[in-house]
Amino acid sequence: MNIRSRFSLRPIVNTSGTMTGLGASIARPEVIEAIAAILPQFVEIDDLQRCACAAIAAACGSEAGYITASASAGITLSIAATMTGDDLGLIERLPDSASLKHEVVVQTGHLVNYGAPLDQAIRLCGARAIAVGAATEAHGYQLAGAINSRTTAALFVVSHHTQQYGMIPLEEFIAIAHAKGVPVIVDAASEYDLKGFIAAGADIALYSAHKFLGGPTAGIVAGSKALVRAAYFQNGGIGRGMKVGKEGIAGAIVALQTWAARDHQAVRRLERGYLTLWQERLNLFPGIRAQIDADPTGNPLERLKITVDRIAARITAWDLVDALARSKPGYAAVIARDHEAEQHFFFLDPCNLHPGEEQLVLERVVAELEHARTAPQPIATPFSGRDAGRTAARRRWPD
């Protein structure tokens, strides 16, 4: 039984990456097996989290670790840990942070929105973000100057969402914070490098279990034993509302345990094949330039960057993306990666395709480009208003 038709959901093909709004990623078979096996059983959660602690330590090279609801929860709870330590009374007092250190230094160019504002994940525990530097430029002296007796943590974000140049490099960021006795938390939610941030000296590194790892929705908190323990104890406080169940913990453990043994080269070869297939065909269209593009933060993955000359292609990049996403008889609805569509390009991300879907994607893009080529008028809606239209559509939920 197709689960989508059971819930009256339209079929979609995900070429946008690991998006929460689309169900994140394809869970690995061994993850699904572990989740199914644990769901009917009682377990002692502290012991299951001890098992997670060992799995995270092995995978991330950290002293300790635990599983929480999401990387976003991990941000809030690890900052809370720096504020309260393992004092259970203080943990119950949050988010009232009076008398506690509560400032978190973070570069302005790192204050992203990953579905919710990063700044809000900081505020949730009673802390507040102290922005360091300007949007496109930050300096070590600014970070040093922002740290004072109220500073509880320094937060560093590794992501394609952040400003990609002019920022303080991680090593320098850690050195400055540590020189002032401030722990460093690295939000590496989407980064394949499980060991590098801890190895570089981060006190906590955070990952999403449901992204590249192909685990269930959960967050992985790796770090020093004292901070991980203090973060885990937040489950008796503000962490309660960010609870992860046994299925999330078990699935994340298995995703971590099997990560190293996966054939990463084979995955890359497969994805390279999809990209080349799309690239060769799409480059035959006037006004379309398709290039294989490496991930900006160095993750071992590539995407097809499709640049659209709106005059020659007779369609804008955003109209093409919107057309692909609509249902059309005989074709798959394709959700593309379009954060930068106003700059006349978008991406097709191959990392979440089921076998055969690469053909459906190609057929649909070809169909839309053919349609644009022969349409009586060029397809060119103004970009301004597109976001407002999407916001209005979102606000109509649930109807």
Ligand X SMILES: *Cc1c(COP(=O)(O)O)cnc(C)c1O
Rule CB under 6 A: which residues touch ligand X? 20, 70-72, 114, 157, 159, 161, 187, 189-190, 208, 219
For ligand X, give the closer residue by CB, 20 or 108. Answer: 20
Token representation of residue 332:
């798959």
Do the beta carbons of residue 5 and residue 192 sit within 8 Å? no
Distance CA 100, CA 126 (A): 9
Smallest gap from Cβ 363 to ligand X, in A, equals 30
Closest CA to 74 of 211, 251, 200, 242: 242
User: In this structure, what is the dihedral angle of CA atoms 300, 244, 252, 7, given to the nearest 10 degrees?
Assistant: -80
Smallest gap from Cβ 237 to ligand X, in A, equals 19
For ligand X, give the closer residue by CB, 20 or 291. Answer: 20
CA distances from residue 111 to 201, 263, 356 in whole angstroms, order as listed: 22, 35, 38
For ligand X, give the closer residue by CB, 94 or 189. Answer: 189
CA distances from residue 86 to 48, 228, 389 in whole angstroms, order as listed: 20, 10, 47
Backbone angles phi, psi at 379, to 5 degrees: -95, 100
Longest dimension (CA), the chain: 70
Smallest gap from Cβ 28 to ligand X, in A, equals 17
Do the beta carbons of residue 291 and residue 305 sit within 8 Å? yes
Q: Which residue has the tokens 């540590």?
A: 178
Smallest gap from Cβ 211 to ligand X, in A, equals 6
Smallest gap from Cβ 74 to ligand X, in A, equals 7
- Residue 339: CB atoms within 10 A of its CB come to 12
For ligand X, give the closer residue by CB, 90 or 189. Answer: 189
For ligand X, give the closer residue by CB, 125 or 369. Answer: 125
For ligand X, give the closer residue by CB, 296 or 385. Answer: 296
Smallest gap from Cβ 395 to ligand X, in A, equals 22
